[in-house]
Amino acid sequence: MQTKCPHCDKGIQAGAIVCPHCGSYVVQMEERKRRWHLFAIPLAGIALVGGILFYMDMKEQEVLERRQAMLEADRPVDRTVSRQHQQDELERQRKEALRNQIQAEKSRRLAKRQANEAWRALPTKEKQEVLAAELAELRGRIKSLKESASADDTGDFHDWLTKLETRIAAADTFIDAEQFDSARGLISGAMEELDSVLGKDETSDDAAAATGEAADEGGAEEVATP
């Protein structure tokens, strides 16, 4: 009876130790194949048992977490502890808002410093063009506001805008004398003052509107109440 050599695939006698064609050991190869099967089966069994144990542990942990959640839900709420939690949360929010304000102020100062450095690096002609554009924009805003103020018959606001317009007229003199920093400071200050006044007016209008809405709701409740 013949079989094939596992190395050269030629016919050899069954039970031969060495292949007469290629000279390789036949018995050693067959023993290695049998040895691999002996190790594969126990390893597969170990892996299967380990997977089952891991799955059971995960299910047990899930059941424990579910029971803990049910106990927490059934536990009566302590009002003192709840109030303390609310106070702690408010304090945390206050500190967070304070940190945000500090960070915003740092960012504002950094942006202002960078803008000043970029301003100093500009040549004279570009500084004149930038200041002229800012001054024209400011005068346009003042003119528009004066027209709307005249339409609303708000004399005090109209007079304040006239004084502001008179004050910024000195910026032309500063620009002609190449006193650019003075002109820039005057224009920037006027813009900030204008924005501040307009912001206060908008806040007052919003507050008045909110008060009116609250009064309307209160009146509606009184009418609905027998």
Mean pLDDT per 10-residue run, the chain (226 residues)? 77 75 67 56 79 84 83 64 83 92 91 86 89 91 81 70 88 88 89 82 48 47 40
Residue 224 inside a domain? The answer is: no
Residue 122, helix vs strand vs coil: coil
- DSSP secondary structure code for residue 1 in this structure: -
**Cα–Cα distance for residue pair 184/181, rounded to 1 Å:** 5
**Cα–Cα distance for residue pair 179/187, rounded to 1 Å:** 13
Cβ pair 170, 186 in contact under 8 A: yes
Let me know whether 154 and 165 are in one domain: yes
Residue 216 inside a domain? The answer is: no
Q: Which helix (H) or strand (E) holds 38?
A: helix 26-74
Place of tokens 């424990």: 64
- Give the type of residue at 175: I
pLDDT at 118: 87
Q: Quote the domain boundaries for residue 174.
A: 123-211
pLDDT at 74: 64
CB neighbour class for 9 (10 Å; exposed up to 12, middle 13-18, buried from 19): exposed
Let me know whether 142 and 179 are in one domain: yes
Closest to 145 (Cα-Cα) out of 193, 187, 185: 193
Place of tokens 């690096």: 121
Let me know whether 181 and 162 are in one domain: yes
Answering whether pTM is above 0.85, one says no
pLDDT at 99: 93
Residue 75 inside a domain? The answer is: no
pLDDT at 217: 47
pLDDT at 33: 52
Let me know whether 206 and 129 are in one domain: yes
Let me know whether 147 and 206 are in one domain: yes
pLDDT at 154: 60
Joined tokens for residue 97: 């808002």
Number of domains present in the structure of the chain: 3
